[in-house]
Each structure stands twice: as C-alpha cells, then as structure tokens.
Amino acid sequence: MTSNGKTRDQIKQALENALRAEFPKDTVDISDGFQENIHVLIVSRRFDGMAEQDKQDLLWNVIDRTDLNEDEKRLISLTLPYSPAQIK
C-alpha cells in the first residue's frame, strides 16, 4: 500500500488502463520487476523511426497523466517502448 492508498495491483491496473487507452491496438505489458518493482513494455508502430528519448517522453507523458503520485510512479523500474522492428 502506498501513501495514496493504492495497492501494487491497483497501480499496475492504472498503468494498464492509461496505456491501453493510448495504445489500443498495440502490445501493452505491465509485469513484475525485481521484488515489488513494475516493468512497462509497449510495442507500437507509433515508435517507428523515433529517437529513444522521444519514445520515452511519449510513454512518460501518458504515465504522468494518470492519477498516480510520485511514490507510486517510483515503483516503475523499467520502461521499454519498442517499435516492432526493434524486436524482430
């Protein structure tokens, strides 16, 4: 439970909901990291040709628009925005 009262599963669900809304037809995977941490993986053609920083900025822009507070967002320990070409 975080200071905002959300459980870890609720935080994962909030991330899933926000990212699903932003990337409705793409792969959105919110998984467990080491110990209590959370990993975020998105595979989308929207990332085609984008620089790594721009991909991260797009992803974090979505995460920062959720109602998660900073303590809750700190559980995210890995963000992986990939274009399909990167995983072929």
Rule CB under 8 A: which residues touch another protein? 33-35, 37, 51-53, 56, 60, 74, 76-80, 86
Determine if residue 20 is left, alpha or beta; phi over 0 gives left, psi from -120 to 50 gives alpha, anything else beta: alpha
Length of the chain as a residue count: 88
Smallest distance from another protein to CB 21, Å? 21
Smallest distance from another protein to CB 74, Å? 4
Q: Do the Cβ atoms of 65 and 14 come closer than 8 Å? A: no
Q: Give 16 or 80: the residue with its C-beta nearer to another protein.
A: 80
Q: Give 1 or 51: the residue with its C-beta nearer to another protein.
A: 51
Q: Name the helix (H) or strand (E) containing 42.
A: strand 38-43
